[in-house]
Amino acid sequence: MKILITGGTGFIGRSLSPSLLADGHSVTILSRYPNKVESVFGKKIRQIDSMSDLTDQDHFDAIFNFAGAPIFASRWNDARKTVLMNSRIDTTQKIIAFIERAKTKPSVLLSGSAIGIYGDRGDAILDETTSLPASTEDDFGHQLCAAWEKTAEMAKTHGVRVCLLRTGLVLGRNGGFLQPMLLPFKLGLGCKLGSGDQWMPWIHMDDYVAICKVLLENNALQGAINLTAPNPATNSHFTEILARLLKRKALLTIPAWALNLLLGEMAQLLIGSQRVIPKALLDSGFQFRHTELETALADVLRN
């Protein structure tokens, strides 16, 4: 297949692209930083600076859309929220515009999203059939994902299958949410966040990449797809396991009020609860390699 990836030098793209190349696919990456693409992947991957670099004769069998400013890079003030929203919506709109003018349409658009779209739902079990929150005025994470998904779904009007990748916390090497946690935990400063009862859906990068490749081929899978392992963990459980694997104690707690004071609205990403199950993938027969948090974390830390 000929595959286009936006955000291809990010945490997920750095694992997905080499795997696609190894399978014999041709990969093009949209990036404003050509030197970064070459430093990460060498000369095996074509790089474009903008969707406008593509003509109506360019053809891709599939498009992965991961582009977007980092969620945790800085506090969410109004200006930052505008950057987060625009960096996702603008790129997705340009993808739709390319699809509209392309002589040969892609078969599938696989577009990023996140479990935050479900909102803070406590202990309720959530799958792809769960209704989304009706009121979102105080939940920017939901607003962001909902707008991103709505824009991506416009590709369906051009006969393109759309998969909305509702991603949990990805466990992988050399990046992701786990990386900044390792030093504090190794120093014995690992801590529970808030009550610790909030659910943290997670997925191992190996499974994430495997699922992406399945979605390229399986035409029956479309719409919302939860990319999470079958067994989500609470924050308390996650903290306990990570500390034990690092042979440290994690006796501290950061109360919710302190997180709200430090992070403002962004604190909801840490103390909100989504008990998400990957029903669509399980029903399709996908076999997860990593189903238990302890063995998944041990695999990442070992490597």
Residue 303 confidence (pLDDT) above 80: no
Other beta carbons less than 10 A from residue 150's beta carbon: 12
Residue 273 confidence (pLDDT) above 90: yes
Q: Which domains does the chain have, with CATH numbers?
A: 2-173+201-230+275-289 (3.40.50.720)
Segment 3-26 mean pLDDT = 93
Would you say the C-alpha torsion 128, 131, 134, 139 has a positive or negative sign? negative
C-alpha span between 142 and 130 (Å, rounded): 14
C-alpha span between 122 and 6 (Å, rounded): 33
Q: Within 13 A of 210's CA, how many CA atoms are on the CB side?
A: 14
Task: Give per-residue pLDDT as tens, 92-108.
Answer: 999 999 999 999 999 99
Mean pLDDT of the chain: 93
- Residue 122 contacts residue 273 (beta carbons within 8 Å): yes
Residue 273: closest CA among 207, 205, 204, 195: 195
Alpha-carbon distances of 227 from 57, 111, 136, 154, 298, rounded to whole Å:
33, 12, 23, 21, 20
Task: Give per-residue pLDDT as tens, 41-61.
Answer: 877 888 898 899 999 999 999
- Residue 168 contacts residue 232 (beta carbons within 8 Å): yes
Task: Give per-residue pLDDT as tens, 51-95.
Answer: 999 999 999 999 999 998 888 888 899 999 999 999 999 999 999
C-alpha span between 105 and 117 (Å, rounded): 28
Residue 262 confidence (pLDDT) above 80: yes
Q: Position 99: which residue type? A: I
Local confidence band at 9 (pLDDT 50, 70, 90 cut-offs): confident
C-alpha span between 145 and 116 (Å, rounded): 7
pTM of the model: 0.94
Residue 135 confidence (pLDDT) above 70: no
pLDDT of residue 35: 76
pLDDT of residue 49: 87
Task: Give per-residue pLDDT as tens, 203-228.
Answer: 999 999 999 999 999 999 999 999 99
Percent pLDDT > 90 in the chain is 81
HEC profile of 127-191:
CCCCCCCCCCCCCHHHHHHHHHHHHHHHHHHHCCEEEEEEECEEECCCCCCCHHHHHHHHCCCCE
